[in-house]
Amino acid sequence: MQIAEAHPRHYEYVSIQVSGLQMIQTINTQNGYVASELSMRSREKFEKLKEHKDEIEKEVGELIWDDNEKKDTVKIRKTFPIDVYATKNHKKAVTKLIEIGAELKNIAHKYLDN
């Protein structure tokens, strides 16, 4: 597998089969981290997840809950600090993106599927 050059803030949208939500996978070389986040336009879904914040964070660790009222979308993000420029870290960065993404997808299904 060949890994393309990372740009300062490169991201990819991924469907997680929950209406109104999408996963954003980010590689940020400028600030040295990889991240996965649930992005949604529904503040109702965000608030439903936030009602379970303590138990969610107990399951997956500390999250960033971005509910900026000036924006159209609200996000729940988990980051992992890593030097993405270092070739030796590429496999670990990709593995963490997959792990974090799976954790957030499972959270979305667990708390939003009726």
**For position 11, what pLDDT does the model report?**
67
pLDDT (mean) for 64-73? 86
**For position 85, what pLDDT does the model report?**
87
Average pLDDT, the chain: 87
For 36-65, b/e burial (b = at least 16 CB within 10 A) is: bbbbbeeeebbeebeeeeeebeeebeebee
CATH class of 9-112: alpha beta
